[in-house]
Structure 1
Amino acid sequence: MLRLKNVTKTFGTQTALKDITTAFNDHETTVLVGPSGSGKSTLLRSLNLLERPESGTYDCDGIELDFAKKITKKETLAVRQKTEMVFQDYNLFPHLTVLKNVMEGPVHVLKEDKQTAKKRALELLDKVGLKQKADAYPNQLSGGQAQRVAIARSLAMRPRYILLDEPTSALDPELELEVLKVLLELANEKQSLIIVTHNLEFARHVADKILFIEDGQINFSGSKDDFFNSNDLRIKEFISAMTLDNLN
């Protein structure tokens, strides 16, 4: 389990996270929703220590950190071995084939032998429907294919949690669907996922838990059914705006 307690993060005079306390359960999919600039990505990136809050505590599956104190390189590495990030711009190595992109972390970080890493990489590429692209380079892939390779690369590191920051925001709807199907399959397999997304229809399908974040605060934490059936006026307004219910 990942636990944050009384976490605050600022950028200059702006408070991005205000005294956040929440937990993310193992083998569940938690979806973070809210308006742009609300703090969703900052919260997600804090779980991987890409952002460092100024105060509060973080229990990352037994690794206990106090953000008010210096976090060592050893602690950072330990957290990142449990929490793999998938970014909206893929971050694949352009000079490596798809297969070698997926093998890179296991070989150089986890110290797996190359044959074991290759076998696992091919299995994961097959899982995301891209085994036939093993020898291709990133510039030969569509955006949806590149994002699926990025997901396979994260899975290859055997993390407890995969963190996804707007993983389909740069894709057109058809390519987005390719990626969402892979994520839904992972959710059904009970891989622990934490996803920032604006796609509420996807959230409705995939989430075990939803956090609604606005102005750096968690204004809702609960099941997707409770979220989508909420009588809270602000939540109803947000859902209507995001799903174009009030377009007419």
Structure 2
Amino acid sequence: MLRLENVNKTFGGNLALKDITTTFENNQTTVLVGPSGSGKSTMLRSLNLLEMPESGKYYFDDLELDFKKGISKKEILEVRRETEMVFQNYNLFPHLTVLKNIIEGPVHVLKEDKESATKRAYELLKKVGLADKADAYPQQLSGGQAQRVAIARSLAMNPRYILLDEPTSALDPELELEVLKVLLQLAKEKQSLIIVTHNLAFAQKVADKILFVEDGQILFQGPKDDFFNSDNQRIKNFLSAMTLSNLD
């Protein structure tokens, strides 16, 4: 279980996260939604310690981190062994084939032997529908294919949590669908996922829990049905705007 408690983060004197307290359960999918610039990505990146809040606590099972006291390199590595980030721009190594992109971490970081890492990589490529792309280079892939490789690369590290920051925002609808199907399958398999997305139809399908974030604060956290059926006027306005239901 991951838990943030009274977490604050500033950028240039502006509070990006304001007294954030929330829990991310094992084997569940938590989806962060809200307006652009609301703090969703900052919160996600804080879970992987790519951002360092100035105050508050971060609990990861028995590990307790106090941002005010500072986080050691050892603690950072401990968190990152269990959390994998998937970015919207894929971050694949352009000079490596798809297969080598996937086995790079397991071989060099986890110290797996190359043969078992390669076998696992082929299994993961089959899982994400790219069994025929092992020898391709990233520039030979579509955006949707590249993102599916990025997801396979994350899975190869056997993380407890996969953190996804707008994983389909750069894709057209058909390519987006390829990626969303993979994520939906992972959610069904109870892989712990934390996803920032603007795609509310996907959020409604995949989420166990929704966090609605605005101005660095969590305005709602709870089951997806409670969110999508909320009587809260701010949430209703947000849902109407994102689904264009008030366009007429």
Q: TM exceeds 0.5?
A: yes
Deviates most, 108-117 or 62-71: 62-71
Deviations 1:186-245 (A, max 9, x none): 000000000000000000000000000001000000011000000000000000000010
1:131 counterpart residue number: 131
The residue type equivalent to 1:4 in the other structure is L
1:95 counterpart residue number: 95
The residue type equivalent to 2:195 in the other structure is I
Deviations 1:143-178 (A, max 9, x none): 000000000000000000000000000000000000
2:157 counterpart residue number: 157
Question: Structure 2 CA distance, aligned partners of 1:51 and 1:121?
Answer: 30
1:16 counterpart residue number: 16
The alignment's TM-score, normalised by the length of structure 1, stands at 0.99
Deviates most, 178-187 or 68-77: 68-77
- Residue 60 of structure 1: how far off its partner (Å): 1.7
Question: Structure 2 CA distance, aligned partners of 1:186 and 1:75?
Answer: 27
1:169-208 counterparts in 2 under 5 A?
169-208=169-208
Question: Structure 1 CA distance, aligned partners of 2:61 and 2:38?
Answer: 26
1:228 counterpart residue number: 228
Structure 2 residue 66 is the aligned partner of structure 1 residue 66: yes
State the SS of the aligned residue for 2:16. strand
- Residue 13 of structure 1: how far off its partner (Å): 1.4
Deviations 1:9-50 (A, max 9, x none): 000111000000000000000000000000000000000000
Deviations 1:99-158 (A, max 9, x none): 000000000000000001000000001000001000000000000000000000000000
Question: Structure 2 CA distance, aligned partners of 1:29 and 1:205?
Answer: 10
State the SS of the aligned residue for 2:221. strand
2:107 counterpart residue number: 107
Question: Structure 1 CA distance, aligned partners of 2:69 and 2:154?
Answer: 29
Structure 2 residue 80 is the aligned partner of structure 1 residue 57: no
State the SS of the aligned residue for 2:20. strand
- Residue 61 of structure 1: how far off its partner (Å): 2.7
State the SS of the aligned residue for 1:126. helix
2:117 counterpart residue number: 117
Question: Structure 2 CA distance, aligned partners of 1:46 and 1:117?
Answer: 29
Question: Structure 2 CA distance, aligned partners of 1:34 and 1:193?
Answer: 18
Task: Calculate the aligned-residue CA RMSD, in Å.
Answer: 0.5
- Residue 71 of structure 1: how far off its partner (Å): 1.0
Structure 2 residue 247 is the aligned partner of structure 1 residue 247: yes
The residue type equivalent to 2:36 in the other structure is S
Question: Structure 1 CA distance, aligned partners of 2:61 and 2:128?
Answer: 27
**Which residues of structure 2 form unaligned runs of 5+?**
none
Question: Structure 1 CA distance, aligned partners of 2:225 and 2:161?
Answer: 23
The residue type equivalent to 1:25 in the other structure is E
The residue type equivalent to 2:62 in the other structure is G
2:36 counterpart residue number: 36
- Residue 62 of structure 1: how far off its partner (Å): 2.3
- Residue 72 of structure 1: how far off its partner (Å): 1.1
Question: Structure 2 CA distance, aligned partners of 1:63 and 1:72?
Answer: 12
Question: Structure 1 CA distance, aligned partners of 2:244 and 2:156?
Answer: 38
Structure 2 residue 248 is the aligned partner of structure 1 residue 210: no
State the SS of the aligned residue for 1:194. strand
- Residue 97 of structure 1: how far off its partner (Å): 0.3
